[in-house]
Amino acid sequence: MKKTASVAFALCFILFSLSAVHKTFANAAQPGIWNAGGTVFTMLYPEDSAAFNKVQMQREQVYIQLYKGYAVVKGVYLFRNTTGEHLSFKMGYPVNGIYAGGAGLLNEVRIDSLSRFKIKSNDEWMPVLDEEINNYEDEILYPSGDNWKVWQMDFLPNESKTVTVYFLVSTNNSSVHRGYNVESRSAFIYLLESGSVWFQPIEKGNFYVQLNDGLKLKDVKGISGGFGFRFNKDRLVFAGEKINFSPKPHDNLVITLPDIKNSFSFEAIIPDAENLFSKMDEFSASSLDALTYEEVPLNDPYDVDGSIGSFIPILLTLLVIALPVIIVLIIIFFIVRYLKNLKRK
């Protein structure tokens, strides 16, 4: 009876230890998309926080053309000064740094490839300065180096202005993590949640995503829900919208595509920027709303396929931590056996 109780106790102890280890390591693998291409749309310079919630983004129209390894982006934003004050402040796009947002699902965006950035306000091209900001106190954005594209904006009382931005961004070398499953992907993230600094709500957002460079619908591994995306098969365009929303992490636009070979060079694409922007202007000026769109099955961009390799880290970890317990139990077993043999003698 005592022997049975001892064995049961030992087994319970082992199971408890393994359960504790499993729980610890279940939280060690942060799910989400890492090292994705994209941008953080904070816009307001930290020193001008007094202007927060005074300027409303009434409407945003975002055009994204996806290529193999990179994306071309054009954003058209209608801003309105909601006050009777004259507002003068700097807007800015962070260029370098790490954005770690996405609430339960981490979206780590390494903003190190924002290229050929340019902006105009009411059809007037704005001078853009490169500025280093080391005192940015955002808990989820960690800039570094010459990391902001900054320009001056002025609003008369109750004035509205249209701001248009263009840039290229690399989408290569990303990965999707779900538990211990990891897949290499190309990924693009448009971080809407950082638009929460504006006077709320954003009245309307239209989002158009076109596949280029031979990309097909089957190549889209996942795309965010919440936009009501529909697809036009002739022009390979997704169209979606949001109405009267205050951006939260679940509003971010995430698109995942197949992994691109390591031989891809984003730097080789940059000299062709103006030609790509011209193609973007043709795309955005076309009658996108007049196209016929249909429902297509869309997968979760955070989904990954399980593989035997994903369990290796768990097995090794359990083995390393459980090994001392097993050794102690073996030693106890032989000590007990030795003592019993002594008694018999």
Q: Are residues 36 and 17 in the same domain?
A: no
In a domain, 303, yes or no: no
Alpha helices, DSSP H only, in 128-272?
A: none
Of 165, 169, 210, the residue nearest 57 (C-alpha) = 165
Q: Are residues 16 and 91 in the same domain?
A: no
Q: Are residues 22 and 165 in the same domain?
A: no
Expressed as residue numbers, the domain containing 41 is 32-290
Q: Are residues 17 and 153 in the same domain?
A: no
- Residue 312 corresponds to which tokens in the numbers above? 């290796």
Q: Are residues 339 and 254 in the same domain?
A: no
Q: Are residues 276 and 336 in the same domain?
A: no
Average pLDDT (148-166) is 91
Stronger pLDDT, 325 or 35, i.e. the higher one = 325
**pLDDT confidence of residue 311:** 45
In contact, 82 and 54? CB cutoff 8 Å: yes
In contact, 94 and 42? CB cutoff 8 Å: yes
In a domain, 259, yes or no: yes
Domain count, the chain: 2
Q: What is the mean pLDDT of the chain?
A: 76
In contact, 109 and 189? CB cutoff 8 Å: yes
Q: Are residues 265 and 337 in the same domain?
A: no
Q: Are residues 50 and 79 in the same domain?
A: yes
Choose the most confident range, by mean pLDDT, from 46-50, 74-78, 223-227: 74-78
In a domain, 338, yes or no: yes
- Residue 190 corresponds to which tokens in the numbers above? 């448009």
Q: Are residues 198 and 324 in the same domain?
A: no
At 9, the pLDDT band (50, 70, 90 cuts) reads very low
pLDDT over 70 for what percent of the chain?
65
In a domain, 107, yes or no: yes
What 3-state DSSP class applies to 127? coil
In a domain, 154, yes or no: yes
Q: Are residues 101 and 174 in the same domain?
A: yes
**pLDDT confidence of residue 107:** 55
**pLDDT confidence of residue 284:** 97
In a domain, 283, yes or no: yes
Q: Are residues 8 and 48 in the same domain?
A: no
Stronger pLDDT, 75 or 114, i.e. the higher one = 75
Q: Are residues 189 and 314 in the same domain?
A: no
Range in 199-213, 269-283, 312-326 with the lowest mean pLDDT: 312-326
Contacts of 334 (CB under 8 A, 6+ apart): none
In a domain, 213, yes or no: yes
Q: Which of 262, 290, 318 is the last residue of a domain?
A: 290
Stronger pLDDT, 281 or 198, i.e. the higher one = 281
Query: Which long-range CB contacts under 8 A does 128-136 form with residues at least 24 apart?
Result: 130/95, 131/92, 133/45, 133/46, 133/92, 135/46, 136/46, 136/94
**pLDDT confidence of residue 38:** 56
Whether residue 295 is predicted with pLDDT greater than 70 in this model: the reply is yes
In a domain, 301, yes or no: no
Average pLDDT (6-25) is 43
Whether residue 3 is predicted with pLDDT greater than 60 in this model: the reply is no
- CATH number, domain of 268, equals 2.60.40.3680
Residue with tokens 């010459």: 146
Stronger pLDDT, 81 or 97, i.e. the higher one = 81
Q: Residue 330, Cα to own-chain centre: how many angstroms? A: 49
Q: How far is 35 from 37, CA to CA, in rounded Å?
A: 7
Of 34, 21, 18, 19, the residue nearest 178 (C-alpha) = 34
In contact, 247 and 193? CB cutoff 8 Å: yes
